[in-house]
Amino acid sequence: MFCRTDPDAPKHKGISVILVDIDTPGVHVRPLPDLVDPEYPDLNEVFLSDVVVPATNLVGTLNSGWAMANGSLAHERGMVWVTSVIELENATKRLLGEAPGMLERLPVAERAEAATMLADVYIDAQAVRSLGFRGFGNLLRGGSAPEQALMKLFSSEARQRLALVAAELQGAEAIQGDEKFGAILPLSTSDPSPWLDQYFRSFGLTISAGSSEIQRNIIAEKVLGLPRA
């Protein structure tokens, strides 16, 4: 747990990391139903009421939590491109495989725009791969990799755009058949779940490991050096 241990210190300076046993008295876990499958609570709300933990549970030194949070998040965001590239490319492959049938069902006048949307999805997938390689190459040469700050934002939103394009091209079929909903499948490298389910679940990707808004702030301030709004 990242918690405030010095309320008088500046915002970023008074935070520490403490391990909390989930069975400690006062810890209450309330499962949150999954958007796509209410029977599958993937996430929880955790409430702590007067919870006491031994000081030996402190990780690192007191009030150094902000550095640890940044370190672990940078690692998570930095590595996200590997799975993102695979997921995006597999989903793109699946979509392009289904595309001829989808295009055929569309009125002729709408096909050109649909083809452009599909091309954009493909370009996004290639861009994520190239951006990842460039960042990785910079790191290997001992430099910094500002690309890594863009990867999490770009790949999660590209995944969302892809699922929306796919669901839109499916038309009414995307929302037909209740049995389609409720697939207990995480977004994975070969996700066969319905496109609309994937679209709903994609919102979690734009929140976890740093929401899109926070990522945009980081890119603006830390990468581009823009002044704080």
Ligand X SMILES: Cc1cc2nc3c(=O)[nH]c(=O)nc-3n(C[C@H](O)[C@H](O)[C@H](O)COP(=O)(O)OP(=O)(O)OC[C@H]3O[C@@H](n4cnc5c(N)ncnc54)[C@H](O)[C@@H]3O)c2cc1C
Residues that bind ligand X (CB under 6 A): 43, 204, 207-208, 210-211, 213-214, 217
CB of residue 27 to ligand X, shortest distance in Å: 15
Give CA angle at 182 (35, 202), nearest 5°.
45
CB of residue 175 to ligand X, shortest distance in Å: 23
In terms of CB distance, is 85 or 152 closer to ligand X?
A: 152
CB of residue 43 to ligand X, shortest distance in Å: 6
In terms of CB distance, is 139 or 223 closer to ligand X?
A: 223
CB of residue 160 to ligand X, shortest distance in Å: 13
**Rounded CA separation 154/215 (Å):** 10
In terms of CB distance, is 127 or 214 closer to ligand X?
A: 214
CB of residue 74 to ligand X, shortest distance in Å: 14
In terms of CB distance, is 27 or 214 closer to ligand X?
A: 214
In terms of CB distance, is 24 or 126 closer to ligand X?
A: 24
